[in-house]
Amino acid sequence: MMASFINEENFLMIKNNTKLVLKNTHGLIKKYKIIKQYETIMKPRVLLISKNILLLNINKI
């Protein structure tokens, strides 16, 4: 498993709490299916996407 940190530059939105939409460094938009969300009291929010753990430290959500 690999952990990735998502910040405001590459985050676009979370659709219906099931898909994470990101913009990569080349400006391409990618959608990822959210398998599980872990609720934490403090930020960052933790998402499990395929075999990657994504840590969201974003004020918009």
- Domain residue ranges of the chain, discontinuous segments joined by +: 2-56
Q: What is the amino acid identity at position 26?
A: H
Q: Which helix (H) or strand (E) holds 54?
A: strand 52-56
Please report, in angstroms and rounded to a whole number, the separation of the first and last CA atoms in the chain.
Answer: 24
Q: How many CB atoms lie within 10 A of CB 32?
A: 16
Spell out the per-residue pLDDT of the chain, length 61, in tens.
Answer: 455 666 667 777 778 878 888 887 777 888 888 787 777 666 656 676 766 666 665 555 4
pLDDT of residue 60: 52
Question: What is the reported pTM?
Answer: 0.57
pLDDT of residue 29: 85
Give dist(CA 5, CA 56) in Å, integer: 6
